[in-house]
Structure 1
Amino acid sequence: MQKVIIPEVADRQTDHYLTKRGYEVLKVDNPDEATILATAPDVAGIMMFVAPFPNHLYDKLPQLKVLARYGVGYDSIDVDYAATKGVWVTNTPGANATSVAENAVTDIMLLAKRSFEISTLMRQGQQRAAKQIFGHELAGSTVGIIGYGHIGQAVAKMLSGLGVKTLIYNRTKRPTEFGEYVDLETLLQQSDFVTLHIAATKQTEHLLGEREFSMMKPSASLINLARGSVVDEQALIKALNARQIASAALDVFDEEPLPADSPFYQMDNVFLTPHTGSSTVEAGQNMAMGAAKMIDEVLSGQKPEWAVNEPQV
Structure 2
Amino acid sequence: MQKVIVPEKIDNLTDHFLAKQGYDVITVKNPDEENILRLAPDAAAVVMYISPIPNTMYAKMPNLKVLARNGVGFDNIDVDYAAQSGVWVTNTPGSNAISVAEFAVTDLLLLAKRSVEFSQRMLKWNDWGARQLMSHEIFGATVGIIGFGHIGQQVAKMLSGFGVKVLYYNRSKRDSEYGTQVDLDTLLKESDYVTVHIAATPQTEGLLGAREFKLMKNTASLVNTARGTIIDEPALVDALKSGEIASAALDVFDQEPLPADSPLLKLDNAFLTPHVASNTESATLNSARGAVKMADQVLKGQKPDWAVNQPDTDKLR
The TM-score with structure 1 as length reference comes to: 0.98
Matching residue's letter, 1:76: N
Q: C-alpha distance in 2, partners of 1:126/1:61?
A: 59
1:200-219 to structure 2, matched below 5 A, reads: 200-219=200-219
For the residues of structure 2 that align with 1:292 and 1:29, how far apart are their CA atoms?
A: 16
Task: Describe the shift of the 1:130–1:19 C-alpha distance in structure 2 as closer, same or farther (beyond 3 A).
Answer: farther
Give the direction of change, closer, same or farther, for the CA distance of 1:129–1:267 in structure 2 (3 Å limit).
Answer: farther
Q: Deviations over 1:236-278 (max 9, x none)?
A: 0111111110110111111111111111111111111111111
Structure 2 unaligned blocks of 5 or more? none
Pair 1:191 & 2:187 matched: no
Q: Which amino acid aligns with 1:245?
A: I
- In the other structure, the counterpart of 2:22 is 22
- CA–CA distance in structure 2, aligned partners of residues 130 and 70 of structure 1: 43
Check the 8 A contact 1:114/1:133 in 2, yes or no.
no
Contact 1:17 1:292 in 2 (8 A): yes
Give the Cα–Cα distance (whole angstroms) in 1 for the partners of residues 179 and 55 of structure 2.
41
**Structure 1 residue 173 displacement after superposition:** 2.0
Pairing 1:221-236 to 2, within 5 Å after superposition: 221-236=221-236
Superposition deviation, residue 137 in structure 1: 0.8
Taking the aligned partners of 1:171 and 1:85, their CA distance within structure 2 comes to: 28
Q: Tell me: CA distance 1:132–1:202, structure 2 relative to 1, closer, same or farther (3 Å).
A: same
- In structure 1, how many angstroms separate the alpha carbons of the residues matched to 2:7 and 2:120? 35
1:216-255 equivalences under 5 Å are: 216-255=216-255
Q: Percent identity?
A: 63
Deviations 1:277-298 (A, max 9, x none): 1110000011110010000001
CA contact under 8 A between 1:119 and 1:130: conserved in structure 2? no
Output the CA distance in 1 between the equivalents of 2:97 and 2:209.
26
Contact 1:222 1:249 in 2 (8 A): yes
Query: 1:145–1:197: 8 Å Cα contact kept in structure 2?
Result: yes
What is the correspondence of 1:17-166 to structure 2 with a 5 Å cutoff? 17-166=17-166
The change in CA–CA distance for 1:296 and 1:129 in structure 2 (over 3 A counts) is same
Q: Matches of 2:135 and 2:9 in 1, distance apart?
A: 39
Tell me the distance in 2 between the aligned counterparts of 1:7 and 1:240: 39
In 1, Cα distance between equivalents of 2:288 and 2:129: 45
- SS of the counterpart of 2:125? coil
- Within the alignment, does 1:275 sit opposite 2:275 as a pair? yes
CA shift for structure 1 position 135 = 1.1
Letter in structure 2 aligned against 1:22: G
Cα distance between partner residues in 1 of 2:284 and 2:12: 10
Cα shift at 1:131: 2.4
Q: CA deviation at 1:134?
A: 2.2
Residues 121-147 of structure 1 show CA distances to partners (whole Å, capped at 9, x for unaligned) of 122023224323321111111100010
Q: Is the 8 A contact 2:169 2:183 kept in 1?
A: yes
User: Which range moves more in the overlay, 138-147 or 22-31?
Assistant: 22-31
The one-letter amino acid of 1:144's match is G
Structure 1 residue 169 corresponds to structure 2 residue 180: no
Aligned length: 313
Structure 1: 5+ residue stretches without partners:
none
Secondary structure of 2:98 counterpart: helix
- Give the counterpart letter for 1:181 in structure 2: Q
Deviation at 1:303, TM superposition (A): 1.0
Letter in 2 for 1:99: S
On the 8 A contact 1:145/1:167 being kept in 2, the answer is: yes
Once the two structures are TM-superposed, the CA of residue 188 in structure 1 deviates from its matched residue by 0.5
**Which secondary structure does the structure 2 equivalent of 1:55 belong to?**
coil
Distance 1:55 1:150 in 2: 29
1:141-198 Cα deviation digits (max 9, x unpaired): 1100010001000000000000101011112222210001111111101101000000
Which runs of structure 1 show a deviation greater than 4 angstroms over 4 or more consecutive aligned residues? none
Q: Are the equivalent residues in 1 in contact too, given 2:175–2:181 (CA < 8 A)?
A: no
Partner of 2:265: 265
Task: Report the aligned-residue RMSD.
Answer: 1.0
Q: In structure 2, what is the equivalent of residue 12 of structure 1?
A: 12
Q: CA–CA distance in 1 between the matches of 2:82 and 2:132?
A: 55
Q: CA deviation at 1:62?
A: 1.4
Letter in 1 for 2:43: V
Tell me by how many angstroms 1:84 deviates: 1.3
Larger mean Cα displacement after TM superposition, 150-159 or 17-26: 17-26
